[in-house]
Structure 1
Amino acid sequence: MIYMKKRIISFILCISILFSGCYSYKDINKVLFVTSFVVDIDNNNEPIIYLETFKPYRSNISGSEKGQRIVYRGTGKTVHEVIRNIGLSSSFRIDGTQSKAIIFTTKAAEYGIDKFIDFFHRHQEGLIRQYIAIYDGDVEKLLQTQIKSEEYIGLFLADLMDNIKVSSKAVKLSMNDYLNERVMESTACIMSLIRLDETQMENLITIDGGAIIKNDKMVNKLPKSESQAYNFLADRIEGGTLEIPHPKEKDKFITLEILKSKTKNKIEKKDNIVELTKKIKVKTTLTGTQSPMNFTEEELNIIKARAEYNIKKFSREVFEKYKNENIDIFDVADIYNRKYHKEDSKNILKNTILKVDADVKIEGSSNKFDYSK
């Protein structure tokens, strides 16, 4: 009997502890949930923060949960001061636990992300799983954009990042990833670069390559045309396509869908030269051709060879470009440091030679390997 009483008391205590932090309907109507933070700077390099918020409320008519989008703008000397200043103009408590994205303008990123990121890292409501992106364009135009598929920019951006595997040319980075990258030997990483796509029937947010961050500052842009090669080298391919020149028809292409990709590193020091070998294995399937083919074994081998050639060619070109600029977006210093941890790896990139070993496997699509008129 005493044992049962102890179990009941323990159960009641557990329930009270577990559910004490939950919002009641009465409480939730007094809270503004931030869906995204947008960080800009003024002419004095002081932060301008935009908060995209969700104001929940309970409908008196239907009894269902609805909400309202409210955007706040604040200024101050620090991010924390700005948030507090915004709080002075709101009758609701601002809650950052539901934020999906932190967006920096190119102006703020070029000035230095380190001036602002510490608040999002240290604050008790900060989330390391939210995405970080750089926005290239007019920030107020971004916040005034109405996207039919998703009212909230923060939620739209999170869905966009989660759906990134459909393209091998897109780049994404979470808060957690960035906090890890900024303390690595290479001191450089790639963030998503977003902009408004005004070529569509309605304005949409699109990922337009990447922003190159070195020592917490944006120093350059990674064009979309180079993003796929970067993703192969960095082992960040989740899906996408390869467009291969047609073996027989000029200006025609064959499309391979990437099903799986894996990149392994091998690094060797030879005198004053470092050889970095990237072994890239790609599993693909045929998804289309712009001109008829029989897809014989010989033709499939030609397609395979051309796919491997393109991966090697573009990977080497991108590597050499940023090697010459001394921007280690490929984490060469960290790869070297893991094997030769007692040696200095600070400027190892300039002495590194890249070798790329690509292996593309082609599978059929719906068991159909031919295409004829």
Structure 2
Amino acid sequence: MKKVYVILLLTAGLLLKGCYNYNDINRMLFPTALLIDVDDEGNYIVSLEIFHAYRSNQDNTEQGQRILYQRQGRTFLDAISDFELIGAHPFNYTQNKVIIFTEKAAEVGLEGVIDYLHRHQEFLLRPYVMVYYGEPEKLLNVPLKQNEYLGLYLFDLLDRPLSRLTIEHRKLYELLNNRRMGINAALLTAIKMDEGHLEDKVRKDGAAVFHNDKLVGKLDVEDMVAIAFMNDKVRRGYIDVPYPESTEKFISLEIVKSNTITDILYEEGKVYLRQTINVKTVIAGSEEPLILDEAMVKAIQGNGEVVIQEKCHRLFNAYKKKGIDIFQVQEIFKRKYPRIDIDNVIEVAELEIQVNHHLQGSTNILDFKR
């Protein structure tokens, strides 16, 4: 029996592997951000933001430094493989936080890049994927005081809950799943440089629209209201509605709760996408004095319903005309009618939307007066 225990103990000792010590870490390069661009001749330009740890000879402590690497190749594989020729240490991609496509690279297409990242043994499926509108050099060299590393800054920017209406920020595994749903249309977070406000920053700027893995359009910040309500992704946020007695003044409403119930109906060759949006708001501010009597409350509720309906119909009809299903209508239809084949459901679908807007009390404040 002792021999069995000894054999098991030796086997366990051989199988167990410890964590990296500082010597191991110092001999590795850890990318935190991957930026992919394409030049005018179709060559891929891949940039890496690297965290490199080293032991300081002055005070004998562990230090970290930010390094930027860039390589070019005929394909994405050629470019990223070329890093091994210039790195003094092996590259470890397990700490990569974001994958950034430039506008040009997104227009060329994601397919080859995404497939390679999916198959690569070290690349994780958790990094956020986004599209950058602007010059790559400005993004890589922006001085960020909140975090020295662009990859960590962008990860925090997308990972925290927001009080604004926006799309759901997608990670790599979510993008891979989305490619198998409907007719392969996707929305990715768009970012750009925010210049001229004391210090340069990086900000979110709507969403990039993809069809068959290629960039085909962009949703502005104003479109976030419609896409968030229709996709049932509203958690918090604000909407502006016209003041009941003026078309030039507005009331700001804070959303405290919302849910969207979606159903789809197929009748006589026609498809009806039916959505019921239930939203509760409170008044956040007003450009004119308010007396919240029953008539005023009903008027504000009605204006809120009209604003949401108009925004949803306008966005739906725009992408119905383009034949791009950013609302996953095809997937909703297939789940309910798996035996009926329609090539692109959104092209024949009609949107029927009902908004139930309930204006709640704003703590104990009943009037907004100057």
Q: Structure 1 residues 65 and 304 mapped into 2: Cα distance closer, same or farther (>3 Å)?
A: farther
Find out whether 1:269 has 2:269 as its counterpart: no
Q: TM-score, normalised by structure 2?
A: 0.92
For residues 91 and 59 of structure 1, what CA distance do their matches in structure 2 show?
18
- Which residue in the other structure is 1:355 paired with? 352
Q: Distance in 1 between matches of 2:138 and 2:169?
A: 23
Aligned partners of 2:161, 2:193: CA distance in 1, in Å?
17
1:143 aligns with 2:136: no
In the TM superposition, 1:127-166 aligns within 5 A as 127-163=124-160, 165-166=162-163
* Alignment partners' CA distance in 2, 1:254 and 1:178: 37
Query: Matched residue of 1:97: which SS?
Result: helix
Residues 26 and 305 of structure 1: CA distance in aligned 2, closer, same or farther (over 3 Å): same
Per-residue CA shift, 1:64-108, capped at 9, x if unaligned?
A: 543111110012233333223112211122111111110011111
Query: Does the CA contact (< 8 Å) of 1:170 and 1:224 recur in 2?
Result: no
Contact residue 274 and residue 351 of structure 1 kept, 8 A: yes
Look up the match of 1:26: 23
In structure 2, relative to structure 1, the CA distance for the partners of 1:361 and 1:125 (3 Å cut) is farther
Structure 1, residues 257-297: CA drift from partner, whole Å, max 9, x if none?
Answer: 22232222110011011110112122323222222223223
Q: Which runs of 5+ in 2 are unaligned?
A: none
SS of the residue 1:50 aligns to: strand
1:327 aligns with 2:324: yes
- Counterpart for residue 93 of structure 2: 96
Aligned residue number for residue 203 of structure 1? 200
3-state SS of 2:155 partner: helix
Is 1:114 matched with 2:111? yes
Once the two structures are superposed, residues 274-324 of structure 1 have per-residue CA deviations (whole angstroms, 9 ceiling, x without a partner) of 110112122323222222223223322221211111111110010001101
Contact preservation (8 Å) 2:167, 2:227 = no
Q: Of residues 204, 207, 213 in structure 2, which corresponds to 1:216?
A: 213
Q: For the Cα contact (< 8 Å) 2:316–2:351, is it kept in 1?
A: yes
Summarize the Cα distance change of 1:315–1:162 in structure 2 as closer, same or farther, 3 Å threshold: same
**Match status 1:317 vs 2:305:** no
For residues 253 and 334 of structure 1, do their structure 2 counterparts lie closer, same or farther at Cα, with a shift above 3 Å needed? same
Pairs aligned (count): 368
Give the AA of the match of 2:23.
K
**Unaligned runs of at least 5 residues, structure 1:** none
Alignment of 1:1-373 (within 5 A): 20-60=17-57, 65-163=62-160, 165-169=162-166, 172-373=169-370
Cα RMSD after superposing both structures: 2.4
How far apart are the structure 2 equivalents of 1:371 and 1:220?
A: 41
Once residues 91 and 172 of structure 1 are traced to their aligned partners in structure 2, the CA distance between those partners, rounded to angstroms, is 35
* Structure 2 letter corresponding to 1:191: L
What per-residue deviation string (whole Å, max 9, x for no partner) do you get for residues 320-340 of structure 1? 011011111111111100001
Could you tell me the TM-score, scaled by structure 1's length? 0.91
What fraction of aligned residue pairs are identical, expressed as a percent?
36
Pair 1:360–1:129, CA change in 2 (3 A): farther
